[in-house]
Structure 1
Amino acid sequence: MNATAQTSSSADREAQIDSLVRGAIDLHCHSGPSVMPRYCDHIEAMQEASAAGLKAVLLKDHYYSCTPVTTLLNKHFSELNVQMLSGVPLNNSVGGLNIHAVEHGLKLGAKLVWMPTFSSANHIAHHHQDVAFVDKFPQTTQRMLQPIPLTVLDDDGKLREEVKGILDLIAAEDVVLSAGHLNIKEIWPLFEEARKRGVKRLLVNHPTYVVDATLDDMRQLAREGVYMEHSMCMWVPGSKFKFYDGEFLAQVIEAGTVDLTILGSDLGQQGNPTIVDGFRNVIGTVLDLGYSEDDVRKMTSLNAARLMNI
């Protein structure tokens, strides 16, 4: 191939990726203000998404609900044409498995409830067991109190009563239940009870990381209609949290199916690639794996839209 043909091919490739970024939805954006070091704030994240043509962005902070912020962004920056969303994270900073925090968040318009993430007993156990965990996960910019480990199960392995009330609120508002950073062994009884109580929208974030789901677990989750979101920060070159290669991405997509796989950035950390660069790179990876543009659209936009009902 001569230089002109190479340039033309490269330009076509960039145009193809640009087209697929337009209309994408990011359900895992870590902008600030935050006690974690972030390269952008919530307004800048919205502006970045708008410039690239993203359709919607869900803001996630482990310590507070960004829902009031997204309400302001949608009202005062509507010209950017990006729908901003958020949810309620059930960590120590909001009282843990706190039904009042969930009710308040849903009344404000939260579209998702995360079970405990940083405060989950499972996350804390990973931290203690892995000497390199501090290099694999963002750390706060200042020393925080030791977290109180949270689990959705009691000493007998049964779902805690306070969780059942939370599930009822999620069902009543028809919003998304995310498993947070619970272990897969906790997720099975949680989701079983959630379905019994009428929860229809179920999500597992980065099932391969901290959650400890196997490919067989992901196949079972897919059979049960559960969406699985894979974090681009774990695949994109230049990320401090790049753990996996393209071959493994193909494996997790196969396990979870194209129709239930969501690719979210999980970016915003200082020193990592930008949110849009994460999308561009991972879209390129998925195309290289042989997935069609229609498949890519499903995994970067349509599945997330269906899950979030937007």
Structure 2
Amino acid sequence: MCNDDLSPYETVPPASMISIGYPGPRPDFLTDAVDLHIHSGPDAIDRIGTSIDIARAAAAAGMKAIVLKDHLFPSYTKAVLTDQAVDGLRVFGGITMNGTAGGIAVRPVLAALAGGARVVMFPTFDGIRYVQKKKPGAIQLQHSFGQQITPILAVEDGKLLPHTEDVLQAVSDHPQVILSAGHLGPEEAIPIMRRAAELGIANKVIEHPNSSDWWSLDHYQQLVDCGTTFNMSYNPYQPIMGRRNFDELVELIGQVGAENCNLITDGGQPYNPMPAITMNVLCEMLYFQGVALDEIIAMAKTNPARMLGL
């Protein structure tokens, strides 16, 4: 049979036909899946596509929702427009409190909430853990544009700084919003999440803790005790980016509990597939490694959908 008239994608057999070495029939991981952390264009650095490109791919795969995350700009504006432009999928965004978006300050957060932001994220590359890294990564350096970054502190000597308290008070008035620790380390994230729990903030997440060595099992337990969940990312196992052993994630999910985890791609890089494809790969890797199907479904669908109120 000649496949000259078919695209390269059409020559690939459907997933249901590929079963060698696979533990039983291939489950449907993407229908109603939710990805809480995706990078998209337009952005300050190259992305695999615009927010509309990425949303269309997710909708075609049957996903329920995606959340757009930008380091340097609020993402809620393009999310609101993308949500209107792409049928069959909900698209959400937020604000990351790096210096280019106003830092940790209540006024930019209030403006973002008024504009439809669903995620309020503490600093990423402007947090002290990243600013003081001895060997900054390539993506971190790209986002600095050659400028010296002054670290933005949320907590000092174990105590929340006043601007952090102001932000938490603002988020507490919006029960549908997700509070994210960004790239903060445990010395800042744990006090923040404890205070957020005191204020009744239900949706609290730590971003891709499986990508660093900052977090101990004791840290995880302290965070679980105050109702925090963990966005477990694919990227630490991507050959260009993390190069970590995938068995670490399987073990970690078993230790902290699938009920406390969401699966995210943290995708959108030009050297990754479309995030919808990456989400499927992540789920299949977990399934092949013996993680229970109901736990994968909870982490890819049920848990993140609940956080978004879907």
TM-score by length of structure 2 reads 0.88
What is the SS of the residue equivalent to 1:22? coil
Residue ranges of structure 2 left out of the alignment (5+ in a row) = 1-15
Q: State the distance in 2 between where 1:144 and 1:46 align.
A: 32
Match status 1:76 vs 2:77: no
Q: Does residue 16 of the first structure (1) align with residue 26 of the second (2)? A: yes
Q: Secondary structure at the match of 2:130?
A: helix
What does residue 189 of structure 2 align with?
A: 187
Residues 1:198 and 2:165 are matched in the alignment? no
Q: Please tell me whether residue 108 in structure 1 is matched to residue 122 in structure 2.
A: no
Post-superposition CA distance 1:210-241 (Å, at most 9, x none)? 571123322332233211011111124xx421
Partner-residue secondary structure (3-state), 2:67: strand
CA distance in 2, matches of 1:65, 1:111: 11
Deviation at 1:166, TM superposition (A): 0.6
**What's the offset of the Cα at 1:31?**
0.9
- Structure richer in helix, relative to its length: 1
Aligned-partner Cα distance in 2 for 1:281–1:8: 14
Q: Residue 219 of structure 1 contacts residue 255 of structure 1 at CA under 8 Å; is this kept in 2?
A: no
Is contact 1:216–1:255 with CA below 8 Å preserved after alignment? no
Contact 2:207 2:231 in 1 (8 A): yes
Letter in 1 for 2:129: N
- Aligned-pair distance for 1:9? 2.8
Who is 2:278 aligned against? 278
The amino acid of 1:84's aligned partner reads V
C-alpha root-mean-square deviation of aligned residues, in Å?
2.3
CA contact (8 A) 2:250 2:291 kept: no
Deviation at 1:38, TM superposition (A): 0.8
CA distance in 1, matches of 2:159, 2:110: 23
Task: Confirm or deny: 8 A CA contact 1:227 1:260 kept in the other structure.
Answer: yes
Match of 1:117 among 124, 132, 149: 124
CA separation in 2, counterparts of 1:139 and 1:268?
Answer: 18
Tell me, yes or no, if the aligned pair for 2:224 and 2:260 is still in contact at 8 Å.
Answer: yes
Per the alignment, residue 215 of structure 1 pairs with 217
Q: Structure 1 residues 75 and 23, CA, compared in 2 at 3 Å: closer, same or farther?
A: same
Q: Secondary structure at the match of 1:109?
A: coil
1:140 counterpart SS class: helix
Counterparts of residues 33-182 of structure 1 (less than 5 Å): 33-77=42-86, 79=87, 81-126=88-133, 129-130=134-135, 133-135=136-138, 137=139, 139-140=141-142, 143-154=145-156, 156-174=157-175, 175-182=177-184
Are the aligned partners of 1:233 and 1:278 in contact in 2 as well (CA < 8 Å)? no
CA contact (8 A) 2:211 2:236 kept: no
Give 1:114 deviation, angstroms: 0.3
Aligned length: 294
CA distance in 2, matches of 1:34, 1:267: 13
| 3-state DSSP of counterpart to 1:84 | strand
Mapped to 2, the partners of 1:139 and 1:14 lie a distance apart of 44
Distance 1:157-1:218 versus aligned 2 partners, 3 A rule: closer
The alpha-carbon deviation at position 185 of structure 1 amounts to 1.1
- Name whichever of 23-32 and 289-298 sits farther off: 289-298
Instruction: Calculate the TM-score normalised by the size of structure 1.
Output: 0.88
Secondary structure at 1:164's aligned position in 2?
helix
CA distance in 1, matches of 2:208, 2:17: 36
Q: In structure 1, what is the equivalent of residue 35 of structure 2?
A: 26
* Alpha-carbon distance between aligned partners in 2 of 1:245 and 1:272, rounded to the nearest angstrom: 18
How far 1:138 moved relative to its partner?
Answer: 5.5
- 1:207-246 aligned within 5 A: 207-210=209-212, 212-236=214-238, 239-246=239-246
The 2-side partners of 1:109 and 1:157 are apart by 32
- Between the aligned partners of 1:271 and 1:14, the Cα distance in structure 2 is 31
